[in-house]
Amino acid sequence: MTSENKNIQVVFNAGGLGTRLRPLTYYITKAMVPVLGKPFLFYQLELLKKHGFTRFLMCVGYKCDQIKGFFGDGSRFGASINYSEEPEPLGTGGSLKYAEKFLDDVFLLLPADTLLDINFNALIDQHRLFNPTATMTLIKKQDPSQYGVAVLNGNQRIIKFVEKPKNFIGNNTNAGAIILNKKILNYIQPNKLVSIEKDVYPILVEEGKMQSFVIDETYHLDIGVPERYKQFHEDILTGKVICDADGCKGS
């Protein structure tokens, strides 16, 4: 466990409709789908606490009372949790713009449907070293077609980024963990439906303001579709990932 990250704000994108995980998400928001009787987001929170993070902002919308009712202000989990509740779906970028008044100058953005255990200190240090607008964590995937894919230059700067490319351009995929400077909000119009992956990141790439943080093979899975939600449970049963009351981690 480390305390070096305790002052870094973690922002969860947890307001989506979860349409790809229907029919389950007709009744429950994606971040709260159950794993061993507890919400998936619970395990993410516990894992991040082990890395020293204690301050969280949840960008919520669809069925947000489920999230707020379970986590509250975070005190019973040893954390501080605030909420930004969007009045209508604004997308991964629009929800950030709506949360502007709650955001720190630098923050860690995470999706609410992905488990990722990495060296967060190294990610933060690299962002501070290069001081770009964004530093994206990348992991190699054999089939990158369902992810955002980045092409790099020799200095780890991202020179091309395509969300779910139709043609193969590489296999360095967006792992979900991204350090952002608040100035990214200058690229997002208020009260508009904006995809940060499709509408904002490509602009940052064109302006040379996006660095990468490439990680080695580690356990990484998003549960955003039924096949991967099922896979996560199979990985628990086979010991590929270990979940208990203190969170989940790759074995």
33 found inside a domain: yes
Q: Is residue 154 part of a domain?
A: no
Q: What's the structural domain count of the chain?
A: 1
CATH number at residue 96: 3.90.550.10
Q: Which two tokens stand for residue 229?
A: 């939600």
Identify the pLDDT of residue 17: 66
Whether 75 is in a domain gets the answer yes
Q: Which residue has the higher pLDDT, 235 or 94?
A: 94
pLDDT tens for residues 84-104?
Answer: 998 888 988 999 999 999 999
Q: How confident is the model at residue 4 (pLDDT cuts 50, 70, 90)?
A: low
- Please indicate, yes or no, if residue 161 is contained in any of the structural domains: no
Query: Has residue 168 been placed in a domain?
Result: no
Query: What is the model's pLDDT at position 245?
Result: 57
- At 164 the three-state DSSP class reads coil
Per-residue pLDDT averaged across 226-239, rounded? Answer: 80
Spell out the residues 6+ positions from residue 81 whose beta carbon is closer than 8 angstroms to its own: 56, 57, 58, 71, 72, 73, 74
Structural domain span for residue 121: 9-136+175-214
Residue 96: the pLDDT is 93
| 115-148 tens-digit pLDDT | 788 889 999 999 998 889 999 999 888 777 777 8
Judge whether residue 185 has pLDDT over 80: yes
Calculate the average pLDDT of the chain: 84
Q: Which two tokens stand for residue 114?
A: 């992905």
pLDDT at position 113: 84
